[in-house]
Amino acid sequence: MKSNLFVFLRNKSVLTIFFGVLLILALVNVFLPQAMATATDMLLSEVRISPAVTSPNLQDNPSFETWTSSTLDEPWFDANDDSIVDVGEYCDYDSSGTRTTYSQALFSTGSLSILPLGSTCGTFTEETTDPYVDTSAIKMATGASELQTITNVVGSQMSVSTSTEYTVSFYAKGESGSEKIYLTIYLKDGSAVEYNWNFTSGAFDAYSEIPSIDQSNLFTLTTSWARYTYTFTSDKTGSMALSFSSGTDGALLGRADTTNMTIYLDAAQVEAASAATTFMSADTASATFLELYNPTDSAIDIDNYMVQYRKASDAWAEFGAVTTTTNVPSGGFYLIKASGGDQTLTDETAFDVAYNASSGNMAFRVCTNSADCASTVIDTLGLASSPSYEGVAFDLSSWDTSMSFERKAYSASTVVTMSSGGGDVIAGNGYDSDVNTDDFVLRTTPDPQSLASSVEVYVAPVSTTTSSAGNQKAAQDYYDELIRQQEELLQEPDLPEVNEVPAIDETPGETEIDQTVPETDIEKIVPVVESTVPILPTEKNIISEALSLKNVVLLISRLPFGSDWDSVHFLSYGLNGLQDGYTQRDRVGLLNDYYNTNHDLPRNESDWVNIVRMADGLIPNEKVVESERRAIEQFVRIYKRSVDFSNKSDEKFVHMLAYGLRVQDRDLQQEQKTLTLYVSVFERLPDSSYHWSVLRAMAYSDVQ
């Protein structure tokens, strides 16, 4: 709903309305404070909650890894039950009827044995080209009229108990589709009596070599990996073994033909559960960690500091405490981790239990006095519906335990800019507006850092006043309303032409970002000064200033104030000393690169001279060490070697990227060629001014 002021102005002339909008924007600019989120003590900078998980899998070596080559006697099947190896009862008998030995690939641990049920053997080999999980699977290939079985050997069988429900699951696929695999379950009780599971009656029966086939244990495969399951309740206690059979023997496995079969088997799991859970080949160790960051300009001794956690509304518990003199340098980190780090989590088991009972509704806080934590809290992070948080708790709807919560470097930082290759990746974690959901991003690739890690110098954004995050939001909301009102005004059919609007120092506006101003408007701009400062025209271009204002607001995340308006004028009208041919889009790129390097807008003539030097491909008069360090990191990432500053090309790359330097004559073919290399390194196209600077540095530095 429009304010009364706007309703009143609507009844006046369009020109009066426009002046009213400008006046209100000026008042907002003067009276609404601008936010600057900074901290004066240690901050929670990155947190990952990933408790240890015990695998429910009873199957030994379930993903069929660790193969080795062994020499074995030919396996055989006692067809006539005389306990004698007769000719025709083993795989590849020779003309003399002698049982020989042969090499067969087996597992070095958790072995499975092979049992041929036909006149000749098929082959079992390690499949490494396309396993379902990890690096190996079983490939079973049988000849015509062959049936072959693989089963658990003694020592890798599983203990089961009576009246307990178990679920067997495995992944399989066929070479051509429609192949069948036959599951059998064997058990030997405490008296060494053997049994087969009867899939029809649902009980263990007396042992037989080939139990009757039931549709519940005969699975038809496709050419893609798929999971197959069977659930049963054991009526006996003992050692259980699984058996998987493939191949064909007439109609034994439901196939009318006797052609060769090739199937693949992987990821077997047996668990005491009513349904199959996520496959796990082994227990998973805890990956939980909590990282602290020093955003101040001096070292902090964190002796006696404590980090606590709480589950939902339960009492706070100790996550980790520092008990000795520990100086964290400016821009440095301190890491508490389940294993490793600067210290280990105080009680991992208790923490894991709390997490599993909390559904993620947890909170963390850091305090400066472990004896009185509640009264000395300096930072808090709350998740989901935890009752402890700052501003608004962080939402968990997109989170899982493989991710981490990382504090931003600046208000405009994103998960892209904070991740590897991003513009803020080494800018620290110093943004603190006291609103958890605004201060953190969700990382898919956690990056815990410790005292031994490189420092990341945080440079606080420049602001004329301080304010709460609430005031910042109020200013932004007011600005959005003004822009919406102005859009309506600009659509009025009787809006005055641009050259009819008298000159006003501060003109708001709204249009599409990076849209180039029409040449007809640019021609009306007449510079009135000749120093290296943004041009002030004798006639205003309202459309140009509207576009420029929006770009500046997006860059600094607040309304322009004081000398901020010089940047609006620069984007709108240019800069004395700037080479001809620079469009408004080009100027937006220059300003973005300057801001990324200096973390502030240009404030004086010296700063604007550096803008001109950037455009001319010259390094600024004052070096920015942190920007050069960031450029060096990108150099190492791209070229896989250190920078040689005696090499002019290496030095040129660092300077071009660190300061966003331009070239006088662009070579579009060279840039297109370089784009291929860029994508091979970063696996995406450039999507920010910083990454376009990376591309330019690669294209024009001639690094070999």
Closest CA to 172 of 126, 210, 140: 140
Same fold, 43-53+284-443 and 67-271: no
pLDDT for the residue 88: 57
pLDDT at 374: 94
Task: Give the separation between CA 552 and CA 592, rounded to whole angstroms.
Answer: 9
CB of 441 within 8 A of CB of 412?
A: no
Element spanning 675, H or E: helix 668-682
Under a CB-based contact definition with an 8 Å cutoff, are residues 255 and 246 in contact? no
Beta-bridge partner residues of 343: 336
CATH for 43-53+284-443 is 2.60.40.1260
- Residue 12 CB partners (closer than 8 Å, separation 6+): 20
Could you tell me the mean pLDDT of each successive run of 10 residues in the chain, 704 residues long?
37 42 40 44 95 84 66 56 66 47 40 41 74 87 65 70 95 89 88 89 81 74 95 94 70 49 88 92 88 93 97 94 95 93 92 87 96 96 94 93 93 87 84 93 95 78 37 43 46 38 31 35 36 69 80 83 84 83 85 87 88 86 82 87 86 89 84 85 81 89 88
CB 486 within 8 A of CB 478: no
What are the boundaries of each domain within the chain? Answer: 43-53+284-443, 67-271, 501-700
Count of C-beta atoms within a 10 Å radius of residue 655:
21
pLDDT of 320 reads 96
Say how far apart CA 216 and CA 167 lie, in whole Å. 13
Q: Report pLDDT for 435.
A: 93
Domain 67-271: which CATH number of 3.40.50.720, 3.40.1160.10, 2.60.120.260, 3.40.50.20: 2.60.120.260
Q: Residue 521 has what pLDDT?
A: 35
**Which residues, at least 6 apart from 18, have a Cβ–Cβ distance to it below 8 Å?**
486, 489, 495, 496, 501
Listed in order, strand segments (DSSP E) in 234-311 are 238-247, 261-271, 289-293, 300-301, 306-311
CA 174 to chain centre: 34
CA distance 598 to 606: 13
The b/e string for 469-480 (b: 16+ C-beta within 10 A; e otherwise) is: beebebbbebbe
Question: Cα–Cα distance between 581 and 564 in angstroms, integer?
Answer: 24
Q: Quick one: the chain helix, strand, coil %, rounded to 5? A: 25, 25, 50
